[in-house]
Chain A
Amino acid sequence: MNPLNLILAILFFGGLVGLYVFLFIKNKNTPKPAGCENLKPDCSGCRDYSCPNHPKEES
């Protein structure tokens, strides 16, 4: 593989990751509109326990 191409790929990937992190932090710091502070999706769960919206079952 061309070294220049590899550097471009790494820079491009780093840029995308940086963009995601930036947007994630900006979104997290953006206050939710009034009345939307405790909104939860009406999702009954699909056994995907890693999903933040999964209604955790008490064991």
Chain B
Amino acid sequence: MISELIGLLITSVLLNNAILNQFLGLCPFMGVSRKKSSALGMGMAVVFVIVAAGLVTYGLYYLVLVPLHLEYMDLVTFILVIASLVQLTEMFLKKSSPALYKSLGVYLPLITTNCVVLNVCLVNISNGYDFAHMLVYTIGTPLGFALVLYIFSCIRERLDTADVPASFVGNPVALIVAGLMAMAFSGLAGII
């Protein structure tokens, strides 16, 4: 059981990475990766929201939707729950922790449209995870997202000072780097 959970954690962080393997969350991946500080703030906010959304949607599905035979409403329910949760989190941060709001709050509206959040909620249900597996997958996926976002931002900061051909400056060279990162991460497949 423990080895299975560790395997799931490594898989969700590195091998089945949301960005490099599933091509999810590419909008913030390209948009918020120009500076390390922004990438770190976005990564932390994504971890917070995905863990909260995963727990709430999992509970809602098995405690409300299944008993009421409303399983077919999972998609629309999860979308509304995620959007509501982001509003609630933003309001909570505004009132209780201005310092945290300053570093994370600005990225919260961006997360509402981040497809990684919805993907985690749907995969938890479609794969039939029990609570322990759900928890590991829900923590592992945003950690993988934040890790790749941070590494990518470090590379992009270096790229700003590199001698890149004019036609490749900006997003083109960033996409090539993302492709190389995806190949590098796929090389980790042998560890499981």
Contacts and interface: CB of A to CB of B under 8 A. Distances in A.
Main secondary structure of the interface of B (DSSP, over half): helix
A50 B173 CA distance: 25
Interface stretch (B3-11, B28-36, B143-151): B28-36
A33 B80 contact: no
B70 A48 contact: no
B166 to A, nearest CB: 18
Contact of A20 (B69, B70, B87, B98): B87
A17 B76 CA distance: 10
B36 to A, nearest CB: 11
Given A36-B102, A42-B38, A8 B68 contact: yes
A10 to B, nearest CB: 10
Interface residues of B, number: 37
B118 to A, nearest CB: 15
Contacts of A51: 27, 110, 113
B164 interface: no
Interface stretch (B14-22, B88-96, B123-131): B88-96
Interface of A: 5, 8-9, 12-13, 16-17, 19-20, 23-24, 26-27, 30-36, 39-46, 48, 51-53
Given A27-B90, A42-B34, A48-B113, 16 more contacts: A8-B68, A16-B77, A20-B80, A23-B91, A26-B91, A30-B91, A30-B94, A30-B95, A33-B94, A36-B101, A42-B35, A43-B32, A44-B34, A46-B26, A46-B28, A48-B27
